Chain A
Amino acid sequence: MNQVGQSIPRLEVRAKVTGRANYTHHLQLPGMLYAKVFRSTVPHGRIRSIDVEAARALPGVFRVITGKDVQKLIPEPYYGPAFHDQPILAIDKVCHVGEPVAAVLARDPHVADQAVQLITAEYEELPAVYDEVEALKSDIVVHEMLKPAGTFADLKHLKGRTNTNIALDYHLKRGDPEAGFAKADKVVEHTFKTQQCLHLPFEPFVAVAEPGDGVLTIHTSNQTPSFVRTEIARLFGWPENKVRVKVPHLGGGFGAKVYVKVEALAAALAMLVRKPVKVALTMEEQFYVITKHPTTFRIKSGVNMDGKVVARTCDVLWNGGAYADIGPRVTQKSGFTAPGPYDIDNISIDSYALYTNRTPAGALRGFGIPQMVWAYESHTDLLAREIGMDPVEFRRKNILREGREQATGTAMKDAAIAEVLEAVVKEMNWSAPFDRGGNGPVRRGRGIAIGFKASISPTTSVAIVNIAGDGSTTLYTSTVDMGQGSDTAYALMVAKVLDISAEDVRIVHPDTDVTPYDMGTLGSRSLFHMGNAVRLAAEDARNKLRALAAEARLPEGTNYPAGEIFKKRYGMQAGNVIGTATYVPTYKSPDSKTGLSDNVTPFWMIGGAGVELEVDTETGAVRVTKLVNAADCGKPINPGVALTQLSGAAIMQLGFTLWEEMKLDGGQVINASLADYRIPGIADIPPMTNELVEAEQHSGPFGAKGLGESGTFGVSPAIANAIHDAVGIRLTELPITAETVLSALRAQQGRPLEDE
């Protein structure tokens, strides 16, 4: 049966609409203790003392654990994918408000909560640094010494470095930007900033660690079960097979739940007390775990009057917060796309990951790309204005065409940049006259933006397809389906290869005792990377089934159902056919000096957006009246689900553009709740169109590639460009609120709003 390319409902729909889908959130085990976390109240300080006596004395409290207790079990309790910098519980010092300092264990979570309120700590406060621009040069250093994990070649030179907040510096040089500027008709420079915001999955971080006979099982809401297994085993000094990581359905991830988050704490507590321990954070606590990088991006371009961009320099500072998490990867991977999807001969990029005393920053739906697109597409619009060219024409003239080399030197292949641009332009009806609202208080404007992203590499995915004696088929992978529809997409692929129905394929959710290695469900990588492994594993199973048929002396090419082949071969319903495959794409890491590589990504993701909006010039309120999204996902496997991914990503980015911002006051987060941190609701949704352009990823499974982040790329700059079009003001910082718009309008009118 071939259902690939047809829209089918997700396999798990019934469980989800009936409320019976299984999430770690619900898990209760016999004898389980709940852990509640006592957190730092200061942004940077040495721990003088922690007083846990009153908490310990509270009836119902089982144990109170501090960093010193953890060290008795794990002498070096520091974890992280790029740097081993994050302690399970703070040791000696704290580096951000909300950092875990102690944990209370009790049978009743309310008792544990109450006990946490009884803990006190004294700190010797240290000066703190919050801003990425300051952190680059500041005397205030977040970590005394840098401790790269050793997994990444481009971090090795940072080992043991002191007196710095730089957790990665990526540099690229191509051509001669200074010579380019000298020859250009115009040289324009702007600085753009983005704010700290966060994922807020509705199933907050949760893990249950369960010590067993020779194995520690960790049930967790996590996007990277294989990494969790490796990292927990490393912390304890165990072989991997002593750790079992199980992930059921995930109540949202968006990049928050990659690598280790609460798993190391749950594991350490469980091993200390030899009982199952559940660490389940609240919505408020999520503000102290992981966020999206604030950025400062200085971009400078030389442009000729004919519209050709001849040189560009990009200086990007990433505010990584107190612990590196995956920030250094973000800095490099997104850094090398900083000049945008444009064909420019002379480029330089300097991209820095910086430690500050904020909640750590990691990957959030786009792995840093939305911050880059915000800057380069706002800048692109301003360049077009500078030379009086239509912004669409300007982009048409400069975009990277198939086969041309991107900044790193990697040739663009299967990258439908022009197609995405044209799809947005068409849906926006760009060539038709546009009514800007005359002289009334409400003005109208429109804008577009496009962006692109490289996929993650190096990376490995392993899949197992198991055909049982009756011919029924089960797929084992460690991909985490958090609603993106990967289970269903893989079922469609397996079904196509084995000529069965997708609904008949059973998917086993990640369980590292059973499902094989996968790098992680992140960066829109699963459909391509694991998809290739799944396809190859299914083909392997099909070939083995054919061999079995030959052993059973069935004539070649006959269409016996699988169950009949087993029966013929073994004389009864018995046996298995197990197909396996490992997919590892080729890749060349960027050169440490030049930043160049001719094979920097297995595939390119392309996304674009168009926006029409109204600006109320009396209040500054912005109302989006039309949102157009387009993306290249190659040939979609399950188009209906793919479109919901595109739409969902765009709405999420709408929130990051217009409302969402973690506000700090002296290092304290002052809006850590859904009441004060506003995310998009149903009343905020503008009329939208979503389109997958005609394209094919030749190296992808059945021509497909990832899509989960593409919808985020263009939204923010398209809105800023449309506001400029409507009222002639340029906003360079996110979020764009009524206040920032009004303030810019008043400044434009020469009567600035007075500071309070």
Chain B
Amino acid sequence: MSTRTINFTLNGMEVSTEIEPHRNLVELLQRFDLFGARESCGQGLCGCCTVLVDDKAVSGCLYFAPWVDGKSVTTVESLDADGALSIVQQAFIDCGAFQCGFCTPGFVLMVHQLLKEQPNPSDEDIRHYLAGNLCRCAAYPEIIEAVKVAAKSMGKPAM
């Protein structure tokens, strides 16, 4: 099958690759050894494949790989690139906000986007924002708690 060349920014780095037009974003990321975005339901309903494209959350399973040409792609692996966990990741740990961990990267990325847009989210905001992420282990109460803890830590002035 014919391929096309795409150039995009991946977690802050300029990259280029050849890709068949029918591949999705999850498959593209796997070529860069990034496995944090996972295709599960394949219908954009579970959120396990959440990736940020130009700072907007998309479902990687429904997003064709060639569409990222010229765009900026951010995955969960970027969050601790400097070795330190993000505030959201730490809050997920502190609140025990996952069990099997398969859906966790999608939730973490979505919470990052939520807190960027709503630094002090209400319960309603949290439920609305995370409605597109499912967790079969049902760690939802702990996830809601983690969002609140993260919001609180982010709101604190830097030490």
A residues adjacent to B (C-beta < 8 A):
9-10, 12-21, 23, 25-26, 28, 110, 199-204, 249-254, 282-284, 482-485, 640-641, 644-645, 647-648, 651-652, 673-675, 679-683, 685, 688
Q: What A residues does B85 contact at CB under 8 A?
A: 14, 17-18
Given contacts A19-B76, A675-B43, contact A644 B101 (CB under 8 A): no
B136 touches which of A10, A26, A202 (Cβ 8 Å): A202
> Is A682 in contact with B127, judged by CB distance below 8 angstroms?
yes
A202 and B46 contacting across the interface, CB-CB below 8 Å: yes
16 contacts between A and B (CB under 8 A): A17-B92, A17-B93, A17-B104, A19-B36, A19-B104, A202-B41, A251-B100, A641-B96, A647-B138, A647-B141, A651-B138, A651-B140, A652-B136, A675-B45, A682-B133, A685-B140
From residue A287, how far is it (CB to closest CB) to chain B in Å? 12
CB atoms of B40 and A204 under 8 A apart = yes
Q: What 7 additional pairs, Cβ within 8 angstroms, besides A19-B34, A674-B45?
A: A14-B93, A19-B36, A19-B77, A284-B42, A644-B142, A648-B99, A688-B141
Question: Which residue of A is nearest B147, CB measured?
Answer: A682
Contacts of B36 in A (CB 8 A): 18-20
Main secondary structure of the interface of A (DSSP, over half): loop
B38 contact set on A, CB distance < 8 A: 23, 25-26, 202-203, 251
Inside 8 A of A254's CB, which chain B residues have their CB?
A: 136
B96/A644 in contact, CB under 8 A: yes
CB of A97, distance to nearest CB on chain B (Å): 20
User: Quick one: which of B41, B126, B136 has the most chain A CB within 10 A?
Assistant: B136
Report chain A residues within 8 Å CB of B53: none
Chain B hits for A482, CB < 8 A: 99-100
A482 to B137 alpha-carbon distance, docked (Å): 10
Bound form: Cα–Cα A13–B128 in Å: 26
Contacts of B42 in A (CB 8 A): 282-284
A204 to B102, CA, bound (A): 11
Contact of B100 (CB < 8 Å), options: A17, A202, A282: A202
Given A18-B77, A202-B102, A203-B100; A252-B141 close (CB under 8 Å): no
Cβ–Cβ contact B101 & A682, under 8 A:
no
A-B pairs, 7 with minimum CB distance: A19-B36, A483-B99, A16-B101, A251-B102, A483-B100, A651-B138, A19-B105
Question: In the complex the two chains form, what is the Cα distance from A640 to B97 in whole Å?
Answer: 11
Residues of A within 8 A of B102 (CB): 23, 25, 201-203, 251-252
Nearest neighbor of A13 in chain B, beta-carbon distance: B93
Tell me which residues across on chain A come within 8 A of B141, comparing CB atoms.
647, 685, 688
Query: Once bound together, how far apart are the Cα atoms of A220 and B76, in whole Å?
Result: 25
Complex Cα gap A251–B98 (Å)? 11
In whole angstroms, what is the CA distance A652 to B137 when docked? 8
User: Which B residue sits closest to A200, measured CB to CB?
Assistant: B136
Q: How far is the CB of A200 from chain B (nearest CB, A)?
A: 6
B48 interface residue (CB < 8 Å to A): yes
Instruction: For residue B141, give the distance in angstroms from its CB to the closest CB of chain A.
Output: 6
B residues adjacent to A (C-beta < 8 A): 22, 30, 34-38, 40-43, 45-46, 48, 75-77, 79-80, 85, 89, 92-94, 96, 98-105, 108, 126-128, 130-131, 133-144
Nearest B residue to A483 by beta-carbon distance?
A: B99
Report Cα–Cα, A485/B137, bound state, in Å.
12
Question: Are A673 and B41 also in contact (CB < 8 A) when A18-B85, A652-B138, A685-B141 are?
Answer: yes
Which of the residues B77, B92, B101, B134 comes within 8 Å of A12, measured between beta carbons? B101
A251 cross-chain contacts in B, Cβ below 8 A: 38, 40, 100-102
Which residues from chain A contact B130 at a C-beta distance below 8 Å?
682
Task: Evaluate whether A673 and B43 lie within 8 angstroms (CB atoms) in the complex, with A18-B76, A252-B102, A682-B144 already known.
Answer: yes
Tell me which residues across on chain A come within 8 A of B100, comparing CB atoms. 201-203, 249-253, 482-483
Interface centre among A18, A249, A485 (most CB of B within 10 A): A18
The answer for the CA separation of A283 and B105 in the assembled complex, in Å, is: 19
Complex CA gap A680/B139 in Å reads 11
Contacts of A15 in B (CB 8 A): 101
Query: How far, in whole Å, are A117 and B104 apart by their CA atoms in the complex?
Result: 34
Q: Which residues of A contact B43 (CB under 8 A)?
A: 283, 673-675
Q: With a CB–CB cut-off of 8 A, which chain A residues contact B139?
A: 644, 647-648
Q: Is the CB of A16 within 8 A of B76?
A: no
From B75, B98, B134, A16 is in contact (CB under 8 Å) with: B98
The residues of A that contact B92 with a CB separation of less than 8 Å are 13, 17
In the complex, A647 Cα to B97 Cα: how many Å?
12
**Residue from the list B41, B89, B94, B138 in contact with A648, Cβ < 8 A:** B138
What residues of chain A lie closer than 8 Å to B108, measured between beta carbons? Answer: 17, 19
A199, closest chain B residue (CB):
B136
Cβ distance B123 to chain A, nearest Cβ, rounded Å: 10
Q: How far is the CA of A268 from the CA of B32 in the complex (A)?
A: 31
In the complex, the chain A residue whose C-beta lies closest to that of B22 is A110
Residues of B within 8 Å of A641, CB to CB, are 96
Q: Which residues of B contact A645 (CB under 8 A)?
A: 99
Residue of B nearest to A280 (CB): B39
- Contact between B103 and A681, CB atoms less than 8 A apart: no
* Most interface-central of B34, B37, B104 (chain A CB within 10 A): B104
Chain B residues closer than 8 Å to A110, beta-carbon distance: 22
Contact A682 B99 (CB under 8 A): no
Residue in B77, B139, B143 whose Cβ sees the most chain A Cβ within 10 Å: B139
Expressed in whole angstroms, the minimum distance between the Cβ of A5 and any Cβ of chain B is 16
Residue of A nearest to B86 (CB): A17
In the complex, are the beta carbons of A683 and B79 less than 8 A apart? no
Write the nearest CB–CB distance from B137 to chain A, whole angstroms: 5
> Distance (Å) between the CB of B26 and the closest chain A CB?
11
Residue in chain A with minimal CB distance to B129: A682
- Smallest CB separation, B40 vs chain A (Å): 4
Q: In the complex, what residues of B have CB within 8 A of residue A249's CB?
A: 100-101
Q: Please indicate which of the listed interface residues A203, A484, A673 has the most CB atoms of chain B within 10 Å of its own CB.
A: A203
Q: Which residues of A contact B40 (CB under 8 A)?
A: 202-204, 251, 283
Nearest CB on B from A711, distance (A): 10
What residues of A have a CB within 8 angstroms of the CB of B45 in the complex? Answer: 674-675
Q: Which residues of B contact A640 (CB under 8 A)?
A: 96
Chain A residue, CB-CB nearest to B99: A483
CB distance from A326 to the nearest CB of B (A): 20
How far apart are the CA atoms of A685 and B42 in the complex, in Å? 24
Query: For residue A690, which residue of chain B has the nearest CB?
Result: B141
Q: Which residues of the partner chain B approach A253 to less than 8 Å between Cβ atoms?
A: 100
A1 to chain B, nearest CB (A): 21
A338 to chain B, nearest CB (A): 27
How many angstroms from the CA of A640 to the CA of B143 in the assembled complex? 14
A285 to chain B, nearest CB (A): 10
Distance, CA A9 to CA B89, complexed state (A): 13
